[in-house]
Amino acid sequence: MNYICKCSKSDFLKHNFTYWEDRDTTSDELEIINFLENSYKLVSKQILHIGIGNSFFAKKFFKNNHIFGITISKKEIENAKLLNLSNYKFVLCDKYSKNFIDELNNKKFDVIVDTNLKSYSCCHESFIFFIENLFNKLNNKGMLITSKNGMRWFKELKPKLSFNFKNFFYYKLKEVDGNKENILTINELINLSKRYNLEFSFDDKLCYLKKWKKKL
């Protein structure tokens, strides 16, 4: 895995860690799903979902759209494969790595969903690298949606040996308190939107960054 920074990292992608494949959909993601179902015409869209979890998001929208998802969990990939949904593709990748750009290649998206833009970043340098490339993947009039609750989340993922009668001993990714600098503020998003010429808005639950072509 290639990174632009020199921070020490655990290589989660090499191991078969369980994470969110059999857990309930988060309230943050449900808020985004509710918005897309009720306030946004989501038909024939190219969608990037960062952090596929239990793939509930894909199950909601795959019939009328094309969904591309990424995750750092092999178990989440295995779960997604078992669903066998049309119009749903996914890859194992760390969004803060250079491989993220390679995986997206020439893809562009109408909607990008990431409930935790900065929460798990190892450093500010990696976050800016990620967010710059993410904004570049938006189509004209495309929109990035994130959760205000997720913006306040600052966690680090650690492997933990666990046990249950289904899997016996297995490793899962556990969230522990991380770097408080990974709290993403409204002002920081406003500054990023100005820097990259995006339209920024928010409500009590979500934040939206929309891309418009400059008028000549």
Which tokens is 13 given? Answer: 């992608």
- List the chain domain ranges: 12-211
> 171 burial class (0-12, 13-18, 19+ CB within 10 angstroms)?
middle
Q: Are 136 and 169 in contact (CB under 8 A)?
A: no
Give the number of other CB atoms < 10 A from CB of residue 29: 22
CA–CA separation, 8 and 21 (whole Å): 26
What pLDDT sits at residue 79? 94
Residue 106: helix, strand or coil by DSSP? coil
What pLDDT sits at residue 216? 43
119-136 burial, b if ≥16 CB within 10 A, otherwise e? bbbbbeebbebbbeebbe
- Residue written as token pair 């989501």: 42
Confidence band (pLDDT; 50, 70, 90) for 158?
low
- Residue written as token pair 């390679």: 102
pLDDT tens-digit series, residues 30-73: 999 999 999 888 999 999 999 999 999 999 999 999 999 999 88
Q: What are phi and psi of 215, to 5 degrees?
A: -80, 135
pLDDT tens-digit series, residues 115-136: 999 988 888 999 999 999 999 9
> 106 burial class (0-12, 13-18, 19+ CB within 10 angstroms)?
exposed
156, pLDDT greater than 90: no
Q: Are 205 and 27 in contact (CB under 8 A)?
A: no
pTM of structure: 0.88
Q: Which residues pair with 200 in a beta bridge?
A: 209
What's the CATH code, domain 12-211?
A: 3.40.50.150
